[in-house]
Amino acid sequence: MNAPTRLWPRAILHIDMNAFFASVEQRDFAELRGKPVGVTNGEVGTTLITCSYEARAFGVKTGMRVYDARRLCPGLIQRPARPKVYAAISTRIMHALKDISPDVEVFSVDEAFLDVTHCQRLHGSPEHIAQLARQRIHDISGGLPCSIGVAGTKSTAKIASDLKKPNGLTVIPPWEARELLDGVPMKKLCGLGPNIAEFLSLYGAQTCGDVARLPMTVLARRYGVTGKYLWLACQGKDTAPVAPEVASPQSIGHGKVLPPHTRTAPVIEIYLRHMCEKVAARLRRYDMQAGQLYVGLRLEAPCEDIGQLFPLPYGMFDGKQLFELAWKFLRCRWHGEAVTHVQVTAAGLRAGSGQLELFTADDSRVTRRFSAIDRINLRYGEFTVAPAILLGRSTMPNVIAPAWRPDGHRQHIPE
């Protein structure tokens, strides 16, 4: 008679889609399979968003300039990103995971945590549940690879998923976590910033085991709750919960990288107007109102950010009026320097009342006009109807922001 399976007091899965964007390209285009592929934002993108494992074998890495990547891998195939495709696949995957456990935390477009503690009597051991999840992902995504880490905490599960790539499965039972983490480099721990790493190096701490052997007070006195969390995480004992609920956004923003050495006012104005229109459209779409507007520029030399926060009357939702503030900022704070990036962010958000306070009752035709424009753009594509000035806007496609989620306000793919 088989011995009963030992139930874990806590069981967490971390699922990491391997080279997600590049894997989708290889899935959809047979000629790319087995080839070194680098995905960039558009045909002329200069930086790799991600790359296939065939490219990584040459030392190519995410975030690398295409020029540098091609020096390492002359045969690198550059592919333009298709963010809507990636978001649609991710949405299907994340929704499918909820069939295994309702406790799913979408960590990013290609990562998720599942708390399967209460599913063990239904689905079996945590390792078996991980195998079910991988098969489910394989079926729903058309064979895309993923690595899964299984452990008693989120931090340990994330470390585990990174140990075997691509398409690996690593199990670290809670009662073995401290021993298995002992020699793991501290930099593998999620949430460990460079400042904390530098501080710990003063104590000779390079691995999780080194940190675990320090008195907890060393970290707690300096970093408070965060320090205590890191000390426990290095032993596989942290209690950070899987959080299915996504907090309401505190801001809605859009930024854009400009062509190199841009210092022409009309070009910068078009980019700012573009971002203002995108912010306004999202506020209208989700019936949200903003009390502040941040407008910023990143200068090429000296490399610095300049910006200004403007108060907004709640209810403002017209991109043209947002741009009036951006134009004012440009005239007052910009003095002809080359600009590499523009940013427009609406902050101080609150739920709309259903009435746009900026306009009087006599201006209902204005609200009807915007409603019609938004419906057309939603159906036929962003900026199908747009101000004429945006004919000169950037042709670079949208990208998926780190805050993207498959549902609600964060579902939008910003630029």
CATH code at position 326: 3.30.1490.100
Same domain? For 138 and 14 the reply is yes
CB 182 within 8 A of CB 268: no
Does residue 2 lie in a domain region?
no
Residue 31 per-residue DSSP state: G
Q: Which residues, given as ranges, of the chain have pLDDT below 50?
A: 1-3, 355-362, 414-415
pLDDT for 36 equals 98
pLDDT digits (tens, 9 = 90+) for 350-401: 887 654 444 444 456 777 888 888 888 878 777 788 888 888 777 666 777 7
Catalytic residue status for 304: no
Same domain? For 201 and 61 the reply is no
Can you give the CATH number for the domain in which 222 is found?
Answer: 1.10.150.20
Q: Into how many domains does the chain fold? A: 3
Measured from the Cβ of residue 163, the count of other Cβ atoms closer than 10 Å reads 15
Does residue 245 lie in a domain region?
no
pLDDT for 133 equals 97
Of 215, 240, 265, the residue at which a domain comes to its end is 240
List the structure tokens of 160.
């585990």
pLDDT for 256 equals 86
Distances in Å between the alpha carbon of 15 and those of 7, 34, 83, 274? 21, 23, 20, 36
Same domain? For 94 and 224 the reply is no
List the structure tokens of 274.
């573009």
CB 70 within 8 A of CB 59: no
Does residue 47 lie in a domain region?
yes
Does residue 23 lie in a domain region?
yes
Same domain? For 144 and 234 the reply is no
Residues with Cβ within 8 Å of 122's Cβ and at least 6 positions away in sequence, in order, are none
Residues with Cβ within 8 Å of 303's Cβ and at least 6 positions away in sequence, in order, are none
pLDDT for 412 equals 64
Measured from the Cβ of residue 164, the count of other Cβ atoms closer than 10 Å reads 13
Does residue 323 lie in a domain region?
yes
Can you give the CATH number for the domain in which 93 is found?
Answer: 3.30.70.270
Buried b or exposed e, range 340-370, using 16+ CB within 10 angstroms: bbbbbbbbebeebeeebebbeeeeeeeeeeb
Determine which one of 111, 176, 300, 382 is catalytic: 111
Q: Residue 199 belongs to what domain range?
A: 182-240
Same domain? For 186 and 273 the reply is no
Same domain? For 36 and 150 the reply is yes
Distances in Å between the alpha carbon of 404 and those of 106, 108, 110, 189, 408? 9, 7, 10, 22, 10
Same domain? For 298 and 397 the reply is yes
pLDDT digits (tens, 9 = 90+) for 99-147: 999 999 999 999 999 999 999 999 999 999 999 999 999 999 999 999 9
Does residue 246 lie in a domain region?
no
Residues with Cβ within 8 Å of 64's Cβ and at least 6 positions away in sequence, in order, are 47, 48, 51
Same domain? For 25 and 131 the reply is yes
Same domain? For 158 and 214 the reply is no
Does residue 67 lie in a domain region?
yes
Of 153, 175, 197, the residue at which a domain comes to its end is 175
